[in-house]
Each structure stands twice: as structure tokens, then as C-alpha cells.
Chains A and B, each alone.
Chain A
Amino acid sequence: MSEHLGEDLATLALGNEDSIKKHSAHLTSCPDCARALDEAKRVMSALDQPALEPSMGFDRALFARLDAIDAASPWARIKAWFTLPRLIGAGVMALGVSLVLMTMTPLATPDEAVLASIEDDDVAENLDMLTDLDVVEDLDVAEDLEDIVELDEGSPG
């Protein structure tokens, strides 16, 4: 005699074809297994209740929760801030600030801070050294320049 149904009872009761093929011969010759299968089928049938289906509001309620989750996440808050109007506004503001800064800032004016730093003793001494340079006084070019200035002053209007 072939083996009893054992743990194949459930799949048999649910109509699994492989299990039926495997045990069909045995079932015709074993009343105990045939009765067990009959009971198992009745159990399955009794528990064969209609499935609960989602109600009309199920989808809406779920996606409302998902929206709330998205809205609460930091990344979503950052993304939500960067709306197109805000980006345009921020761009216009940045452009305006840039223009104001450009108009208020003289291009060739020495920085006050730089001038103040020249008061440093070492720098001042170095400047004195520069004025003492004989090379500057000896420059023929400089003397020629003085002549040119005198000529200009003396020339008619």
C-alpha cells in the first residue's frame, strides 16, 4: 500500500493537482485517508468566506495619510519651498542686490583698510627709503619732463 496522505492533506483538500495524482491510488484503498480528506475539504469549505473588499473611501484615506507623511518629511518641506514663483522672486531679489552692490562700490578707490595698514611702521620706513632713492632724482627723463612742463606754460593759449 502506498503511503498515507500526511502533510499533503491540506494541498489535496485545496485541489492541488500534483497531490491528487500522487495520492489518487492510495485514496481508493485507504478509508482512513479518504475520511480525513473528506473532513479537510469540509473545513476548507466552511472557512471559504467571501473576502472583505476595500470600501469606497479606502483609497482616499490611505493617500491622505501618504500626503501627510510627504508633507512632514524634511526633504519634502525643502522641495515644497522651491516653488516656481519663489524661485523667480529669489532670482529677481539676488539680481537687485547684485546691482546695488555694483553701483555702490567704486571700482578704483583704495580701500580704507588698505590705507590704514600702510601706517604700519615697517611699511612707512620702506616708503622713506623710496623717497631717498638717488636714482629717482638722477633720472634725466624726470628733468626733461620739467622742461616740457615749462615749455607748455610758456606757449601761447
Chain B
Amino acid sequence: MAEVNARGTDDDAALMASFVESRDRRIFQVLYQRYRAPIVAYAGRYTRDRARAEEIAQEVFVRVYTAKSYQADASFKSWLYTVATNVCLNEVRRPEHRQRFESLDAPRDEGKGPVLAAREDASPEAQMAHQQVAARLEATLAALPEKQRAAFLMVRHEAMTHEEIAKSLKTSVSAVKSLVHRALETLRKELRTIADEMADESGSAPRAEEART
């Protein structure tokens, strides 16, 4: 990814401005190669379906390709994630997506979406517990208010700074910190609830601790 310079812009922003002016596909391809994997991954965190995630990512790049104008006065990454977040949110707002998402209350298999990672050296019971925790937390994350979810995903998975997120979500840095914090508080609360439920089910403290691993 391009380094942000002192003016708050970056090389990618200059490339994008150049592409909009020249419509030279070679310039687009440079940007595309840099961001294709992150955008597919980002879309994959909004939808649990690979095909839908790739459709979303394609739509993002089509919007980049057909952009009529571009102001190279900010980070390209922030602008790109603004586009990506809008497309992702349009997708998850669709009733079909909600129905499909709500029906996925069990861990998914590897071929259909992001894999729920479990420690390979953990016991089968521990792996199962880990997957259940991860699935519950993912569902909690998906149910968060849109901006909280977007801010949390960007800081957690996209290695974006608060400044970049603020530009992307068109808000202030302090607001971003607050959004991320509230999202994390909700997830922590859910983690405690899951741990308590597991403790009740097993009637043993060690199991509750296991859920937290």
C-alpha cells in the first residue's frame, strides 16, 4: 500500500487521479493488484458467502473503474474503503442477505465462507467451543450498528489508522475511537455471556475458561 505523504495524499491517490484523467487501464491494474485481495477479504467479513463476497468486490472495482471524478486530496485507501463499505452495507441491508445470515447459526464448512479458525493442537471439544464462540461473536459483530461494525472491521482486519477510518466513514477521529470502543464493549459483553452459558451447561468452571480461549 502507498505511504501517505505530508499532504495527506499518497501515491495511490495520484495514480487514481491519473487514471480518471487518462482512462489508461494499465494504471487501474496497478491499483487493482494492490487492493484486490484486501477488498475481497473485507467483503468476506460482511457476507459469509464467497460468491456474494466476490460480487461485492467486483462491484467495488467497477465503481473505481467508472469513477467520473476523483479528488486526490486524501488517502486512496480511505476513499476505496468508503466505496467498499457502501457496497457491503447495501448488500447486508437486502432482505435476502438477512434471511441467509440468520439461518447460519452453526459453524460453516470450509468451502462456503471464512473458516472459523480453531487451534489445531487443541482437543476436539476445545475446537468446538472455540468455533461456537467465534460464530456467536461474528453474529454479534454483524448485528452491530453499521458504523460501529465498519470501524471495528477496519481497525481489526484492515490495519487502518483512526485517521484513515475517520476519512473513510466521513467522521472525526474521536468518533472513530468511540465507535470501535462501543463495538468492543458489546463483543466483550457477549463473550462473558457465552462463557457463563457454557459454565451453566457443563456445571464446571474449567469449561467456562475454555470458552474464553
Chains A and B come from one and the same complex:
yes
Residues of chain A having any CB pair with chain B under 8 Å: 6-7, 9-11, 13-14, 36, 39-40, 42-44, 46-55, 58-59, 61-62, 65-66, 69
Closest to A66 in B: B65
Closest to A43 in B: B187
Q: Which of B40, B115, B180 lies in contact with A54, CB distance below 8 A?
A: B40
Instruction: Say whether B50 faces chain A, with CB atoms less than 8 Å apart.
Output: yes
Contact, CB under 8 Å: B134 / A46? yes
Distance of A46 Cα from B156 Cα, bound (Å): 12
Q: What B residues does A51 contact at CB under 8 A? A: 37, 40-41, 44, 114, 157
Return 21 A-B CB contacts under 8 Å, by A number: A6-B181, A7-B177, A10-B180, A10-B181, A40-B184, A42-B212, A42-B213, A43-B184, A44-B156, A47-B156, A49-B115, A50-B114, A52-B43, A52-B45, A52-B50, A54-B36, A55-B54, A58-B54, A62-B62, A69-B62, A69-B66
Q: Give the secondary structure class of A's interface.
A: helix
Instruction: Say whether B150 faces chain A, with CB atoms less than 8 Å apart.
Output: no
Instruction: Say whether B58 faces chain A, with CB atoms less than 8 Å apart.
Output: yes
Q: What B residues does A42 contact at CB under 8 A? A: 191, 212-213
Given A36-B188, A47-B134, A61-B58, 12 further pairs, Cβ under 8 A: A9-B184, A43-B191, A46-B137, A49-B117, A52-B44, A52-B50, A52-B113, A53-B37, A53-B41, A58-B54, A59-B36, A66-B25
> How many residues from B make CB contacts under 8 Å with A?
44
With A7-B177, A10-B155, A13-B184 as contacts: A50 and B37 at CB distance below 8 Å? no
Contact, CB under 8 Å: B114 / A49? yes
Q: What A residues does B79 contact at CB under 8 A? A: none
Distance of A14 Cα from B141 Cα, bound (Å): 17
Residues of chain B having any CB pair with chain A under 8 Å: 25, 32, 36-37, 40-41, 43-45, 50, 53-54, 57-58, 61-62, 65-66, 113-117, 130, 133-134, 137-138, 141, 152, 155-157, 177-178, 180-181, 184, 187-188, 191-192, 212-213
Task: Quote the shortest CB–CB distance from B113 to chain A (angstroms).
Answer: 7
Closest to A57 in B: B54
Closest to B213 in A: A42
Distance of A55 Cα from B111 Cα, bound (Å): 12
Distance of A72 Cα from B23 Cα, bound (Å): 15
Contact, CB under 8 Å: B213 / A53? no
Distance of A61 Cα from B53 Cα, bound (Å): 13
Task: Quote the shortest CB–CB distance from A4 to chain B (angstroms).
Answer: 12
Q: What B residues does A36 contact at CB under 8 A? A: 188
Closest to B184 in A: A10
Q: What B residues does A62 contact at CB under 8 A? A: 32, 58, 61-62
Contact, CB under 8 Å: A49 / B134? yes
Q: What A residues does B188 contact at CB under 8 A? A: 36, 39-40, 43
Q: What B residues does A46 contact at CB under 8 A? A: 130, 133-134, 137, 191
Contact, CB under 8 Å: A39 / B116? no
Q: What A residues does B152 contact at CB under 8 A? A: 10
